[in-house]
Structure 1
Amino acid sequence: MTEGADHLPLFPLRTVLVPGAALGLRVFEPRYLDLVRECGRRGTGFGVCLILDGDEVGAPATPAGFGTEAVIEDFDIGGDGLLALRVRGARRFQVRRTRVRDNGLIMADVGWRAADPVVDLQPEHALLGIVLRKILEQIDGADQVFPEPHFDDAAWVGWRLAELLPLEQPQRQQLLQLDDPDERLETLLRLVDED
């Protein structure tokens, strides 16, 4: 199910950004410096999509058909003189059409996916809530990164596990494309059982 349509500049990466997750980026290519300036002027985010074919640098890469809006939380100039961004995943989207600007920046027509419903963690997924608690206990400063944990919210538990478990990027992409929080947790259970 989609909500509305919009135009979004894309930043294809070899990683999947999930809603609520933080990501650090180093920006040096002119097309992405332009993207950051444009987002700053408009007060908007940009899309992060997994690269299906191509590279992060150089010719425009082929992005996956689903991605996550990245909202800039902080920026700085690193010791190497490059722009360092800290972004956070927001809304999910589906790419409907892309075009490439003269500077190589990929622009996408996107359909926004519906926000996750608030669904209680079901008994059959309780193990995943326990796994997430154990993971967070091992992370220094987790109480600052996740100051208000929602261990009873199926969507929150699913996204945090998608962010923190050592999954392959195609597995993370599979989770990103699922609209139902319970289906996402079922898929996570299968992925955990496979390892």
Structure 2
Amino acid sequence: MAASTPAHDLPLFPLSNVLFPDGHLQLRIFEPRYLDLVRECTRTGRPFGVCMILDGREAGQPAIPAAVGTLATITDFHTRDDGLLGIVAKGEERFRVLRTRVRSDGQVRGDIQRWAPEDTLPVPPEFGLLATILERLAEQMMPSWRHDVAARADDASWVGFRLCELLPLDANECQHMLELDDPLQRLAELRDILPRFQRG
């Protein structure tokens, strides 16, 4: 996987789930450290990093983040009915965490190495069923990107990441899929685990 220039002192948001490139994330923000994160990112236009939690919880003591995560750019924010801040963010490039530190307020900061985006490869015929399954799931589950399926159904990377979002994978499986650097290998592994989800 090709890497680009390191970024220093990026705010990290450890979560119990995984954000994939081009994915959408909705968050409810209430802790001061994350309100500061949102203020910083909206002021500077910089992304923040989303990493799956390896140890700990989303709230309270600082959690230990996975070494590979996804950059997230805030696209919208609003005040929710409960009075808390809600944000919407879009997944961008993946990255590897080089080192982390924890600020006095508990916010995790990291130096990261961005990963170059995956090559755009067509979906091989042997994985055509996966694109069909993605279309059906998008019709049923109505994700925000459902109208993009027809245009991007022959992009192996995009199809794989969207299936990872919609199939009932556990968090560790999602993290494994995020860390794969071959979109065709990701499709092969998704095909191999599909029987788990078929109704008996």
Per the normalisation by structure 2, the TM-score is: 0.92
Q: Say how many residue pairs are matched.
A: 193
- Give the superposition deviation at 1:147: 2.8
Q: State the alpha-carbon separation in 2 of the partners of residues 159 and 103 from structure 1.
A: 34
Q: Does residue 1:116 correspond to 2:118, yes or no?
A: yes
Please, what is the CA RMSD of the aligned residues? 1.3
Q: Does residue 1:32 correspond to 2:34, yes or no?
A: yes
Q: Does residue 1:45 correspond to 2:12, yes or no?
A: no
Q: State the alpha-carbon separation in 2 of the partners of residues 193 and 67 from structure 1.
A: 28
Structure 2 residue identity aligned to 1:168: D
Structure 2 unaligned regions, length at least 5: none
Contact 2:139 2:146 in 1 (8 A): no
1:73-112 equivalences in 2 (<5 Å): 73-112=75-114
130-139 vs 93-102, greater mean Cα deviation: 130-139
Q: State the alpha-carbon separation in 2 of the partners of residues 49 and 95 from structure 1.
A: 9
1:1-195 equivalences in 2 (<5 Å): 1=1, 2-7=3-8, 8-140=10-142, 145-149=145-149, 150-195=152-197
**Off by >2 Å, runs of 4+ in structure 1:** 144-149
Q: State the alpha-carbon separation in 2 of the partners of residues 156 and 173 from structure 1.
A: 16
Q: State the alpha-carbon separation in 1 of the partners of residues 181 and 4 from structure 2.
A: 12
SS in 2 for 1:147: helix
- Give the superposition deviation at 1:138: 1.7
Q: State the alpha-carbon separation in 1 of the partners of residues 98 and 196 from structure 2.
A: 33
- Give the superposition deviation at 1:190: 2.1
Structure 1 unaligned regions, length at least 5: none
Q: State the alpha-carbon separation in 1 of the partners of residues 16 and 122 from structure 2.
A: 32
Q: State the alpha-carbon separation in 2 of the partners of residues 136 and 37 from structure 1.
A: 33
- Give the superposition deviation at 1:194: 3.9
Per the normalisation by structure 1, the TM-score is: 0.94
Q: State the alpha-carbon separation in 1 of the partners of residues 22 and 54 from structure 2.
A: 23
Q: State the alpha-carbon separation in 1 of the partners of residues 81 and 132 from structure 2.
A: 40
Q: State the alpha-carbon separation in 2 of the partners of residues 31 and 3 from structure 1.
A: 28
Structure 2 residue identity aligned to 1:5: P
Structure 1 residue identity aligned to 2:4: E
- Give the superposition deviation at 1:139: 3.3
Structure 1 residue identity aligned to 2:107: L
